[in-house]
Amino acid sequence: MIFDRLPIPIVQAPLGGGPSTPALAAAVSGAGGLGFLAAGYRSPRVMAEEIATVRGLTGRPFGVNLFAPVPGPAGREAVERYAARLEPEARRMGVNLGEPRFDRDAFEEKIDRLLRDPVPLVSFTFGCPSAAIISSLREVGSETWATVTDVEEAELAEAAGASALVVQGLEAGGHRGFFVDGKGASDYSVLALVQLAGARVRIPLVAAGGISTGGAVAAVLAAGAAAAQLGTAFMRCPEAGTSEVHRAALASSRPTSLTRAFSGRSARGVVNRFMRDYDLDAPVAYPEVHHLTAPLRARGREEGDEDVVNLWAGQTHELARPLPAADLVRELARDARGALKVAGERLSRSHFR
Amino acid sequence: MIFDRLPIPIVQAPLGGGPSTPALAAAVSGAGGLGFLAAGYRSPRVMAEEIATVRGLTGRPFGVNLFAPVPGPAGREAVERYAARLEPEARRMGVNLGEPRFDRDAFEEKIDRLLRDPVPLVSFTFGCPSAAIISSLREVGSETWATVTDVEEAELAEAAGASALVVQGLEAGGHRGFFVDGKGASDYSVLALVQLAGARVRIPLVAAGGISTGGAVAAVLAAGAAAAQLGTAFMRCPEAGTSEVHRAALASSRPTSLTRAFSGRSARGVVNRFMRDYDLDAPVAYPEVHHLTAPLRARGREEGDEDVVNLWAGQTHELARPLPAADLVRELARDARGALKVAGERLSRSHFR
């Protein structure tokens, strides 16, 4: 398995929607961790080009993340009501709202390409693909990871044949990975999930959500994970494609919150005006609302107006460090080893062994 | 500090409202951990008696937890509306609803007693007492811990002179410890909090929330905590005063949720009918709603009707084990040491040190 080929059990989260770059993935893999390309929101052609670029930069293994198709489309009326609500915002910014279309993010075409030109690892977010897809990827030599947010999803993904699970706690920045968004959705933390899923499934777990320090990397390994996946922690690296307004928000100590305002799916970001103004009105309608707000968010990033930008960030974003990705991987690993030593000293005081 | 006198860095959470007993606290302290008495909901006299009982059972240090007075009282009208909503439920159970009174849980009288007859450690939930109270406790030789749920509360408590902080993640069962309940309250996980508070305050942190395995104990120590505090994990111990309906719910894998339905303050419990029926109507009104629903909950416990009982539980309750508390402390410590070893092996593969 890929874990046995990783000198450092640190995985870079895929970081769709801007921050993901081939340079970032290659730097993380080159340093001994596991880099990822986000294929979500990318065309199959761009996905293939980025894969080629990473291969040119490193011979080490890396992963490609796909969005699994979500149930849908959502109710038209709710989306139209939300669009009407956002109209004044669009006029103010001088853009037209996007077409709130439902799509499958070219899932099947991406799978076809990955079957013809395999990568070491394909991971999935927003659902687990069929056992048939997982098995055909296995046949071409690709491992498959599924992102899960509760034990039920973990058991479904294991049954479908996934090689490992990314257990995503509610601390994580960006979209929550639940298979179905909505009321009563999972609120498990990463530490709770590693314990619960660890007791119920047999495949390895990759722990994701709010991990920014070497101590937290050591923590999830001690809890039972095979590796730690860090997203926000890599977003201030020079190799990341993170926008300037977004970098500034990450460096602050401003609070984060979950919201559907930007995309119609629950996601965590630094609280800003758009989130405050529209959170309560946003329907469960992904990816329709994602497309609807895309021009607004793009204009905000261009103009440095953070008020309308989705500032995805995990709960510990203020601890993200603006270091080259390879240095960051090595420092996290070193700090993790130091943290284990301190923990071991605390536990070895026992006179009662 | 008390941490230096603990052979095992495992703290039993106070567990107010039933599960706390002198036998449980003494068993945990006797095994090398740190036991706690919940003085909340107890009269000052009963608190003093329980302290005497613990002293008779063990010479090891233990703690006493007090509820810090909360802001209030809440608006009368909201409480009356909620009482009217609960009337049919009370009739069905053959009880009268309680008087929804505001009180300070005899805070000042309890502090007076603890100043006259000091214990090694006093911890606080729902707020941080004044620097004057903390300093008078220090003068009589008691350490003071404050429970916090975000970095702002952590900084306030450090400034007030607390000896250490219990950082409570949203995984935790029972009441959330925020200083002020309400919209936009903290949703930090314990792992996020240990990292964030660890970067901002200098006093030791005790990590609380969703810790049920030795691996998770090791995890929070690796993340930087001085000790792990476990609540739900001890609630199935024979020494705990946990009711039978509550024990049954803990042993299940049913989901938990945060609710104000039982007490007027956000708290996590296993989802049951009462929570589903009344969650949306419950006002922010603690302790008024706690007193209002007390007869209902007591009758539910007596009759084994779990539908109307507050089944407080952390996210990993299904991993709580029905072991004698001393055995549990020792097994958790042993498992924690094992977990550190495994994590160390994962981190020592690095060719890149």
Question: How much is the pLDDT for B352?
Answer: 43
- A17, A14, A11, A12: which is closest to A311 by C-alpha? A17
pLDDT tens-digit profile, chain A (353 residues):
999 999 999 999 999 999 999 999 999 999 999 999 999 999 999 999 999 999 999 999 999 999 999 888 999 999 999 999 999 999 999 999 999 999 999 999 999 999 999 999 999 999 999 999 999 999 999 999 999 999 999 999 999 999 999 999 999 999 999 999 988 789 999 999 999 999 999 999 999 999 999 999 999 999 999 999 999 999 999 999 999 999 999 999 999 999 999 999 999 999 999 999 999 999 999 999 999 999 999 999 999 999 999 999 999 999 999 999 999 999 999 999 999 999 999 999 754 43
Summarised one tens digit per residue, pLDDT across range B229-273 is 999 999 999 999 999 999 999 999 999 999 999 999 999 999 999
Handedness of CA A340, A346, A347, A353 (dihedral sign): positive
**Residue contact A316–B196, C-beta within 8 A:** yes
Instruction: Share the mean pLDDT of chain B.
Output: 96
Residues B41-53: pLDDT tens digits?
A: 999 999 999 999 9
Nearest chain A residue to B184 by CA: give it: A257
Q: Is B129 on the interface with A (CB under 8 A)?
A: no
Q: In this structure, what token pair is assigned to residue B345? A: 């092996």
CB contact under 8 A, A7 and B191: no
Q: Contact, A296 vs A95, CB < 8 A?
A: yes
Q: Which of B192, B194, B216 sits opposite A223 (nearest CB)?
A: B216
Do B292 and A171 touch, CB atoms closer than 8 A? no
Interface of B with A in 83-122 (CB under 8 A): none
Say what the pLDDT of residue B350 is.
56
Tokens read off for B332: 């958790």
- In B188-235 the beta strands, taken as DSSP E runs, fall at 205-208, 227-230
Taken in order B14, B15, B18, B24, the sign of the CA dihedral is: negative
Using a CB–CB cutoff of 8 Å, tell me whether A58 touches chain B. no
CB contact under 8 A, A222 and B334: no
Choosing among B150, B153, B195, B331, which should be mutated to test the A contact, i.e. which has the most A CBs within 10 A?
B195
Query: Nearest residue on chain B to A150, judged by CA atoms?
Result: B255
State which residue of chain B sits closest to A219, comparing Cα positions: B219
The 8-class DSSP code of residue B170 comes to T
Tell me the domains of chain A and their CATH numbers.
1-69+106-239+324-348 (3.20.20.70), 73-103+243-319 (no CATH)
**Count of pairs with CB atoms under 8 A, one residue in A, one in B:** 220
Q: Which of B210, B212, B319 sits opposite A189 (nearest CB)?
A: B210
Q: Do A351 and B257 touch (CB under 8 A)?
A: no
Q: Which residue has the tokens 């996210």?
A: B315
| A269 shares contact with chain B (CB less than 8 Å) | no
- The whole-number pLDDT of residue A182 equals 87
For residue range B27-36, list pLDDT tens digits in order: 999 999 999 9
CA distance linking residue A20 with residue A36, whole number of Å: 8
DSSP state of A233: G
Neighbours of A4 (CB within 10 A): 7
Q: How many CB atoms lie within 10 A of CB B295?
A: 18
What pLDDT score was predicted for residue B108?
A: 97
Cβ–Cβ gap A9/B346 under 8 Å? yes
Are A216 and B223 within 8 A, CB to CB? yes
Does residue B353 have a pLDDT over 60? no
Task: Tell me the C-alpha to C-alpha distance, in Å, between residue A260 and each of A176, A247, A276, A281, B170.
Answer: 10, 21, 11, 9, 21
Tokens of B112: 């007076």
Element counts in chain B: helices (H) and strands (E): 12, 11
Q: Do B170 and A170 touch (CB under 8 A)?
A: yes
Please, which residues have CB within 8 angstroms of residue A308's CB and are 6 or more apart in sequence? Answer: A89, A93, A272, A273, A274, A296, A297, A299, A300
